[in-house]
Amino acid sequence: MVSPSKALDIFRRLIGPFHLLLVSLSFLPGTIISLLHPLQLRTLLSPRRLQSAWFARFWSRVGTDIRTNLRPRVGPLIAQAHGVVLDIGPGSGEWLSCFDKSKVERIYGVEPNVGCHGKLREKVKEAGLEGVYVVVPVGVEEIGKWIKKGGEGKSGLGKGDVDSVVTVFCLCSVSQPKRMIGELCGYLKDGGNWIVFEHVVTKEKGFIAWYQAFVDLFWPHFIGGCSITRDTVRWLKEAGSWSKVDLVQPEDEPPYQIIPHIMGVLTK
């Protein structure tokens, strides 16, 4: 028989995703109002641009609390980044303070959501990474084009020239994730490491898998295009010939975790 404490924990984890969706929804009216003054019709009339602005507003507030809760896990991972780094989808820069400044030479923050750039640049200053951290305002598939056009910090960012790739809560929201993972793997040099902390599809079958898929019908629309049912672990393992794969699910996540995570490092 399930104990009352376990039953309560199961209920909390089942209802938790929908609570976060409601929190996200509460930021939509404020986003619309902020776009009305001054009038930004291009964003207001584009569902994709509106969603980006909405998520940027939501994440700039909520991201701080999430960083505080997860820093004991994510911080030590990011601190392993070294040399030339690709920081994919940094958002508003919640994790920038986790980089070890003594290990990194140059960090390229690949963030196409311009709504996040203001906060991101503020975090660059707060983390003492000015002159080291470069905001790349395009998606992964456009990094090469941006470099050729003479983007800031264009030197030293070619295929096979990157020492570390960092993906924290971004592979769940990019379009064509499997293709992007392959693209990023190409930038990583032999001996380089890929640091990961991501949402992934549950390993469970039956009700938990069904319920996760049900939540995912709504989740991407409220959380910036994020999907919680991607088989990211398999795609990462298949992307290259890794000399070492050290990926685990956090120990305190039970089998009935609706939004499970994977964390660790792959070494090329």
Question: How far apart are the C-alpha atoms of 189 and 240, rounded to whole Å?
Answer: 11
- Where b means 16+ CB within 10 Å and e means fewer, 202-216 reads bebeeebeebbeebb
Q: Which of 169, 164, 165, 143 is nearest to 154 (CA)?
A: 143
Both tokens assigned to 108: 């390229």
Can you give the pLDDT at residue 174? 84
Q: What is the CATH number of the domain that holds 70?
A: 3.40.50.150
Which residues make beta-bridge pairs with 198? 262
41 lies in a domain?
no
**Amino acid, single-letter form, for residue 87:** D
Give the residue-averaged pLDDT of 38-46.
84
Can you give the pLDDT at residue 41? 80
Torsion angle of alpha carbons 187, 189, 193, 196, nearest 10°?
10
25 lies in a domain?
no
1 lies in a domain?
no
Can you give the pLDDT at residue 153? 46
Domains contained in the chain, number: 1
52 lies in a domain?
no
2 lies in a domain?
no
Can you give the pLDDT at residue 267? 96
175 lies in a domain?
yes
Comparing 9-23, 141-155, 168-182, 235-249, which segment has the lowest mean pLDDT? 141-155
234 lies in a domain?
yes
Of residues 44 and 253, more confidence is placed in: 253
Q: For the whole model, what pTM was predicted?
A: 0.86
9 lies in a domain?
no
Give me the chain's average pLDDT, please.
89
Q: Which of 130, 232, 145 is nearest to 180 (CA)?
A: 232
* Domain residue limits at 252: 64-267
Model pLDDT for residues 137-186, shown as the tens digit of each residue: 888 777 766 765 555 544 546 788 899 999 999 899 888 889 989 989 99
Question: How far apart are the C-alpha atoms of 211 and 208, rounded to whole Å?
Answer: 5
Model pLDDT for residues 94-139, shown as the tens digit of each residue: 899 999 999 999 999 998 878 778 889 999 999 999 999 999 888 8
